[in-house]
Amino acid sequence: MAGDLYLGYRGDDVNTPYGKFFNPEMASLPEHVVEALEHGPQGGMALLAYEDAGSMADEGYQQTENGYGVLEDGSYQVSVRTDMPGVTPSMWSWWFGWHGSDTRRYKLWHPRAHLSAAWKDGDEAGRRGSDRYVGRWSLITEYIGSNRLNGAIQFVAPGQLGCPPDGDDAVAICARLGSSDGPVDVGWFIHHVRSTPEGAEMRSRFWMGGPHIAVRKAPDVASKAVRPIAERVLGNPETNARNLLVHCAQEMNHLAGFLPELYQNFGDE
Amino acid sequence: MAGDLYLGYRGDDVNTPYGKFFNPEMASLPEHVVEALEHGPQGGMALLAYEDAGSMADEGYQQTENGYGVLEDGSYQVSVRTDMPGVTPSMWSWWFGWHGSDTRRYKLWHPRAHLSAAWKDGDEAGRRGSDRYVGRWSLITEYIGSNRLNGAIQFVAPGQLGCPPDGDDAVAICARLGSSDGPVDVGWFIHHVRSTPEGAEMRSRFWMGGPHIAVRKAPDVASKAVRPIAERVLGNPETNARNLLVHCAQEMNHLAGFLPELYQNFGDE
């Protein structure tokens, strides 16, 4: 988070081998995302429970592939699908490792919302594939809607959320989501990417707030004291769930549009 | 409300003569509903006043046929139209009597939000047409948006809201809406169904909260003490009005899609 935060590229930012992929214009939302927004919040029982996260690896689709809701425990859940012709699951493993070391890479993903990214450790030596992000902390600053947050994304192995190990046909990018302002975690996410005849589809799931708020590395400590820090990341449940759905749909669709070409050029980095 | 609450059909639920009509997939919202959502809350004077409910029986259309708003007295009003080719008004009279005795029937209507339905009295003997629901209490559990509520729907004769008696060309399904958690009423609704050249159209109106909150059978008791119970049904006015519009549009369009066939098979029950 050192230095000025600003949206998009300035000055010399574009002077990288990948700078030409920065595109400030983002496409319209896919129709299935627009419909999910029209429908608004869903009943908790229509949404995937955190305890069933591992079912993301099952074949077929779930009751709510696109939608969000505020649950009775105060948490909120968000689900959204991204269709990605020409993309493979392994491109996303590469992306999650490759982007995190440089704000200019991170900004390719969501030019209207991403401000800063850095690994908590600076050590890039010898890492490849999912080993490049699993077990590491990505410290990011971004907007979700109008809410600016300083997040700590702690990537975990798929098995921690009940998913099988990554393979050629499917990968599960899983993480604990927290604040980088204090030792507070607030949620979990999975981006499950699997092959389709046209390329791949990403099915994203977020569980935020409520019972997912915990003092980092002290899960039994009461969450009340840390709630103000948590709320800086979580925002207002009723609006942030919606905004998170939009944000995720935007960034995943945007990147998917040039990920194959990006991977072709930099996939061996 | 006895037994486990869950969305959709499980186990033997489908093993009824009408089980084949359960369809978990709901259609997109009609364009006129999407436009109403885009416009968002309307000024109170553009919405039908509760005192003018009887004008639903007039020919033509009103200033707001599709829309919602939060009024200055804290109540909210919701209006929505459902076009129903091949449907007749009397099919709806039959539906409102037929569905209420079995959760599996109730779930046909909104497979993503309906959880439970039972008549407060169990007496079905000799009832036909609107006599099967007018004067009775339907106890239901359902989601409106993410808000799960236990409702008591007390059907009343059309005349109580100023509408003429039902006929072949038009019926008015009218009810006082309350909580089943306590003796608190919170609103009113009309579903006015009239014939069109293509079949029928339903024009729904809800008046919720504000001056419509009352202790049941003690209308002059101050509403303050019962407000927590009322709010469990009402939710947040700003979001629940919108969510109620979506919910009503979804369930009425969904059922209208197979109501003629359902009526053909079970209309004499």
* 8 Å CB contact of B146 and A45: no
- Which residue's entry shows tokens 């999910």? A36
* Cβ neighbours of A210 in B, within 8 Å: none
**Could you tell me which chain A residue has the CA closest to the CA of B115?**
A45
The stretches of chain B forming alpha helices (DSSP H) are 31-39, 89-98, 103-109, 227-234, 237-256, 259-266
* 8 Å CB contact of B242 and A40: yes
For residue B1, what pLDDT is reported? 42
Q: For residues B244 and B191, is the Cβ–Cβ distance under 8 A?
A: no
Q: Say how many C-beta atoms besides its own lie within 10 A of residue B180's C-beta.
A: 21
For residue B128, what pLDDT is reported? 81
**Could you tell me which chain A residue has the CA closest to the CA of B6?**
A45
* Cβ neighbours of B242 in A, within 8 Å: 40
CA B89 to chain centre: 15
* 8 Å CB contact of B246 and A45: no
Structure tokens at B141: 């559990």
Q: Which of A38, A47, A68, A238 to mutate to test the interface with B (most CBs of B within 10 A)?
A: A38
**Could you tell me which chain A residue has the CA closest to the CA of B39?**
A38
A7 DSSP assignment:
S
Residues in A whose CB is inside 8 Å of some CB of B read 35, 38-46, 63, 69-72, 238
A135 DSSP assignment:
T
* 8 Å CB contact of A39 and B246: yes
* 8 Å CB contact of A39 and B29: yes
A90 DSSP assignment:
H
* 8 Å CB contact of B115 and A238: no
For residue B159, give how far its alpha carbon lies from the nearest alpha carbon of chain A (Å): 34
Collect the ranges in chain A with pLDDT lower than 50. Answer: 1-2
* 8 Å CB contact of B243 and A40: yes
Sign, Cα dihedral of B214, B217, B221, B224: negative
Query: How many Cα atoms sit within 13 Å of B192 on the Cβ side?
Result: 25
**Could you tell me which chain A residue has the CA closest to the CA of B238?**
A238
* 8 Å CB contact of A43 and B146: yes
Q: For residues B192 and B174, is the Cβ–Cβ distance under 8 A?
A: no
For residue A187, what pLDDT is reported? 97
Instruction: Say if residue A12 is exposed, middle or buried (CB neighbours under 10 Å; 0-12, 13-18, 19+).
Output: exposed
Strands (E), chain B: 67-70, 76-85, 114-119, 137-144, 147-156, 170-179, 184-196, 199-208, 214-215
Distance CA B241, CA A70 (A): 16
Q: Domains, chain A, ranges and CATH?
A: 75-266 (3.30.530.20)
* H or E segment to which residue A107 belongs: helix A103-109
For residue B239, give how far its alpha carbon lies from the nearest alpha carbon of chain A (Å): 9
Which residues make beta-bridge pairs with B118? B139
Q: What is the pLDDT along chain B (269 residues), one digit of tens a residue?
A: 446 899 999 999 999 999 999 999 999 999 999 999 999 999 999 999 999 999 999 999 999 999 999 999 999 999 999 999 999 999 999 999 999 999 999 999 999 999 999 999 987 777 788 889 999 999 999 999 999 999 999 999 999 999 999 999 999 999 999 999 999 999 999 999 999 999 999 999 999 999 999 998 776 666 677 888 888 888 889 899 999 999 999 999 999 999 999 999 999 98
For residue B166, give how far its alpha carbon lies from the nearest alpha carbon of chain A (Å): 33
Q: Which residues contact B167 (CB under 8 A, 6 or more apart)?
A: none
Which residues make beta-bridge pairs with A139? A118, A152
Q: What are φ and ψ of residue B73, in 5° steps?
A: -85, 5
Model pLDDT for residues B214-225, shown as the tens digit of each residue:
998 776 666 677
Q: Which residues contact B218 (CB under 8 A, 6 or more apart)?
A: B183
* 8 Å CB contact of B112 and A70: no
Model pLDDT for residues B52-111, shown as the tens digit of each residue:
999 999 999 999 999 999 999 999 999 999 999 999 999 999 999 999 999 999 999 999
Which amino acid is residue A36, in one-letter code? A
Which amino acid is residue B213, in one-letter code? I
- Which residue's entry shows tokens 């389709």? A196
For residue A1, what pLDDT is reported? 44
For residue B2, what pLDDT is reported? 47
Nearest to A50 by CA among A208, A259, A157: A208
User: pLDDT averaged over chain B?
Assistant: 94
Task: Please report, for residues B81, B179, B222, the alpha-carbon distance to residue B215 in angstroms, rounded to integers and kept in the order given.
Answer: 31, 10, 8
From the list B29, B34, B112, the residue facing A43 with the nearest CB is B112
